[in-house]
Structure 1
Amino acid sequence: MQYHSTRGQVSRLKFVETAMMGLASDGGLMVPQSIPDVSDKCASWKRLSYEALAFEVMRPFISDLPESVLKNIIEKSYSTFEDPLIAPVRSLDNLHVLELFHGPTLAFKDIALQFLGNLFDFVLEKTNSNLNILGATSGDTGGAAIAGIKGKKRINIFVLYPEGKTSRLQERQMTTIIEDNVHNICLNGSFDDCQSLMKSVFSDLSFRKKYNLGAVNSVNWVRILAQIVYYFHAWNQLDCPSNFDVAVPTGNFGNIFAGYVAKQMGLPIRHLILATNSNDILARFFNSGDYSRTDVNFSESPAMDIQVASNFERYLFYQLDKSSTKVSQVMEDFKVTGTVSLKSSWSEQDRTFLAGAASDMETINTIRYFHDQYNYLIDPHTAVGISVAQRIHQKDLPLLCLSTAHPAKFDRAMKAALPNEIVQHPILSRLEGLPERKHSMEVDENSVKSYIVSRAI
């Protein structure tokens, strides 16, 4: 399997090269040359463990790692999870919830970032080289990336996050990691500011090469690949229905794009139900073709407070007949004007997606309802997904909703919904009172570069 950029100037890379590049050097995103059809194999995977299933799903995309190495990386990555199923499904009447928060930082990002961190470690040891990772987070990516990288002698990680725009517990999961190779940079702006600055630094190719920058955000194809696995895993736990629908709370389009690839591989997903909060640029696109950036609204589901969804470019690549020329033009127009007038027929070509948005009030009410009705706690992002799905799901097929984080990470939303409940997790409780370290600065590319230069390996 080879990989190329959505913008056409990078091609014929193998998997490891793609992983180490992260964001393509032409500013695009790396995609596989083809998506393998595994529909004739799905049934035979039904009783596989998560680790064995991960190997089968990933293997067609990876031609440059020995099978034994890939198996070892997978085993090491998921040995850190507290549930033996890694991602168990909980059934609540006709709704099935895929719990993706049983990793070391209680977020779905752990599933990909544990794997990516161990992959980096293997490659760097084998090649006797070092890597400086630059990432941006709206909440969970930072903590999960740090958990996958901390203490690794050949890797430094620099995480950009918006001041006051993550939950306090999410911030502590980053800032209490006092390791020599961990550097948290707190910017006075939004997540979109952090992500835009990150991409701008990566676009400086001489700087990127000199300091050997790598990416852990979902711009890195490995993040998508690792997330494809749990769609197959959930289908197995549902006893392999002939078709099913999946609701995905999404801000950066990475999690739901993994579902899109799983469907292209042959997993019988009928609809992917895209759920956003009031930052509804993606919902507007799939409902009307309107892809226009507005001001970021800060909500009770902060990881989705995003107006510029990086992984959307990968989806456009497939919808625009894999035309790098068209993708480059669309992305350049969006960069300049903040809007792209896409014909609604483009989104209508793919009936896979249904889309909607949920307000903070709907989010809080959904958390409260599931606690009262089922004695089951959901975090605000999961509540967004369920709220939208219950509104538009056609109810003739099983409905799976991805639960992306443990509810204890979002104390403000949980207190608003359930003022008499104490929602805790021991991993988070242990962070209370620990010393913290972060570096605050304005949204300024030169300042961030100077900070990286002073601490790069």
Structure 2
Amino acid sequence: MRYISTRGGINPIPFKETVLMGLAEDGGLILPDNIPQVSANTLYLWRGLSYSELAFEVLSLFADDIPGDDLKNLVEKAYSSFSHPEICPVVKKGDIWILELFHGPTLAFKDIALQFLGNLFEYLLIERKQKMNILGATSGDTGSAAIYGVRGRQNINIFILFPKGRVSPIQELQMTTVPDQNVFCLAIEGTFDDCQYIVKSIFNDLDFKKKYSLGAVNSINWARVLAQVVYYIWAYFRVIESEKVKEVRFSVPTGNFGDIFAGYLAKRIIGKGIERLVLATNENDILTRFVNKGDYSLGQVTSTISPSMDIQIASNFERYLYYLLNEEPSRVREAMEHFSQTGKLAFSAEEIAKVKKDFLSASISQKETLAMIASFYEKTGYVLDPHTAVGVAAGFKFKDERPMIALATAHPAKFPEAVKQAIGREPEKPESLKGLEEKPKRVKVLPAKIEKVKEFVAQNALI
């Protein structure tokens, strides 16, 4: 398997190179030169595998330059830290299935990719006798999951930017109370989009990137998206076996398009089976407007009770754009240049029709989110976090005879204020969240300025 850039400006590279490169050197995002579609016989054999076994089989299709035994060890080590024996259990609640993705060390879906990616980084750096400085931005859960994925690991420092005052208190504590000296938390005086813009700008400074051996842990890193493909296929198997059906739909709360893009890849890999993906947004609805109207245009970022989705610029959108524009890098490059200049993209009726074969979409307000948490709890006794509630509410809007699988992206205890507002009490707090408030914090506040962040990284990087 070889990898290319959405913008066509790099020579094809093997999987290991994609992990360390992160963002492609031409400013594009990395994709495989083809998406394998597995046979019906292979799918039948996969159905009986454990989660770790399935992960190994799926990843093997794309990571063919890592010896099988080494890849198997990386996968098994990644998921040994999860608290549930099934890693990602799928449970039926009322008329909908819930894919629980919050059983990792930071209680968020991003652990599934980042526990694997942390192991992979360390493996490659030791193999090559290299050092890396990871630079990433978070709107909530990515930061803590990335930090827990690489804390204390050899040859790695990590710098995580988050918007000051715009992540939940627990999310902030999970990041800033980690004592390992290779972890640096930067509270940026701005929005998540400011954080993301700073990170992308620094990666585009190729001299700086090379000098300080920068690596990406955000969902611009291909390996992270790839690891997320697995749980779509896993949940598909669980539900078709239980319901005795051939097709399902998934509802995915998303702001950055990374998680739902993994679902799109899963849809392509297994062929028929995932009928469509429901793209669920909060009031920050750029992606819903894209799916429903072909309008991909910037608006103001609105702060909501589902802060991980408070995003206007979806960093993974370019990957889907590549396929929408018939895998023509020149068209992608032209579209992204136009977007950077104007803040908007428009699509033809033919292109919108193509999008609607893959996606359905709805924007869910905070009022609807709280109402969904309350009504779902009343009917099923199950507590949803506000992000999952956005996905469940959108899922119900498009529920038909097919089973609907909603992704539960975080444990409700990470958002106690929103849950209490909805059901009158805070959710039960898992052991891993107890006592965080008493731990010392390590955080640096910086203005939303590229040069200030570069200066801090230069002073603290491993070289």
Give the Cα separation in 2 of the matches to 1:219 and 1:421. 34
**1:369 aligns to what?**
375
Give CA-to-partner distance per residue, 1:244-282, whole Å, 9 cap, x none.
Answer: 110000000000000000011125100100000000000
In the TM superposition, what are the counterparts of 1:221-240 in structure 2 within 5 Å?
221-240=222-241
Aligned to 1:18: 18
Give the deviation of 1:418 after TM superposition.
Answer: 1.8
**CA distance in 1: counterparts of 2:324 and 2:162, whole angstroms:** 31
Structure 2 runs not aligned, ≥5 long:
none
Q: Is the 8 A contact 2:27 2:204 kept in 1?
A: yes
Matched, 1:456 2:445: no
Per the TM alignment, residue 421 of structure 1 is displaced from its structure 2 partner at its CA by 4.2
Ranges in structure 1 where 5+ consecutive residues have no aligned partner? none
Q: Does structure 2 retain, via aligned residues, the 8 Å contact 1:162–1:187? A: yes
- Tell me the equivalent position of 2:438: 433
Alignment of 1:76-95 (within 5 A): 76-95=77-96
Secondary structure, counterpart of 1:388 in structure 2? helix
SS at match of 1:238: helix
Question: What corresponds to 1:415 in structure 2?
Answer: 420
State the shift of 1:154 in Å: 0.4
Q: Which amino acid aligns with 2:53?
A: A
Match of 1:251 in 2: 255
The 8 Å contact of residues 380 and 407 in structure 1, kept in 2 or not, is answered as: yes
Shift of 1:419: 2.0
User: Distance between the aligned counterparts of 1:344 and 1:379, measured in 2?
Assistant: 36
Aligned-residue sequence identity (percent) comes to 49
Give SS of 1:349's match.
Answer: helix
Q: Which residue of 1 aligns with 2:283?
A: 278
| Residue aligning to 1:345 | 350
Equivalent of residue 300 in structure 2, options 273, 295, 299: 295
Which residue in 2 is equivalent to 1:196?
197
Q: TM-score, normalised to structure 1's length?
A: 0.98
TM-score, normalised via structure 2 length: 0.97
2: distance between equivalents of 1:39 and 1:278? 40
Query: Tell me, what secondary structure is at the counterpart of 1:432?
Result: helix
Indicate the residue corresponding to 2:208 in structure 1. 207
- Does 2:267 match 1:263? yes
Partner of 2:392: 386
Instruction: Measure how far apart 1:42 and its partner are.
Output: 1.0
Q: What is the letter of the counterpart of residue 91 of structure 1?
A: K
Q: CA RMSD in A?
A: 0.9
Matches within 5 A, 1:36-51: 36-40=36-40, 41-51=42-52
Task: Assess if the C-alpha contact under 8 Å between 1:162 and 1:186 holds in 2.
Answer: yes
Q: CA–CA distance in 1 between the matches of 2:251 and 2:454?
A: 39
Deviation per residue, 1:311-353 (Å, 9 max, x gap): 1100000010111110011111111111112224212114120
Question: What is the Cα deviation at residue 62 of structure 1?
Answer: 1.2
Contact 1:156 1:182 in 2 (8 A): yes
When structure 1 is superposed on structure 2, of 312-321 and 416-425 the one drifting more is 416-425
Residue 185 of structure 1 is matched in structure 2 by 186
Distance of 1:316 and 1:344 partners within structure 2: 15
1:121 corresponds in structure 2 to 122
Listed one character per residue, the Cα deviations across residues 26-70 of structure 1 (whole Å, up to 9, x for unaligned) are 110000010001142111111101110001111111121000000
C-alpha distance after superposition, 1:340-395 (max 9, x if no partner): 122242121141200010000000010111111111011000000111111122x2
* Number of residue equivalences: 456
2:28 matched residue in structure 1: 28
Asked if structure 1 preserves the Cα contact closer than 8 Å seen for 2:412 and 2:427, the reply is: no
Question: 2:402 matched to which residue of 1?
Answer: 397
- 2:2 corresponds to which residue? 2
In 2 relative to 1, CA 348–421 (structure 1 residues): closer, same or farther, beyond 3 Å? same
Say which is worse superposed, 99-108 or 368-377, in terms of deviation: 368-377
Work out the CA distance in 1 between the residues paired with 2:5 and 2:92: 39
1:326 maps to which of 309, 331, 334: 331
Amino acid corresponding to residue 12 of structure 2 in structure 1: R
For the 8 Å contact 1:153–1:181, the answer to whether it is kept is: no
- Cα displacement (A) at 1:422: 4.4
Aligned to 1:160: 161
What whole-Å deviation, never above 9, does each CA across 1:214-237 have from its counterpart, x for those lacking one?
A: 000000000110000001111121
Structure 1 distance, partners of 2:127, 2:395, is 46
> Does the 8 Å CA contact 1:363/1:384 hold for their aligned counterparts?
yes
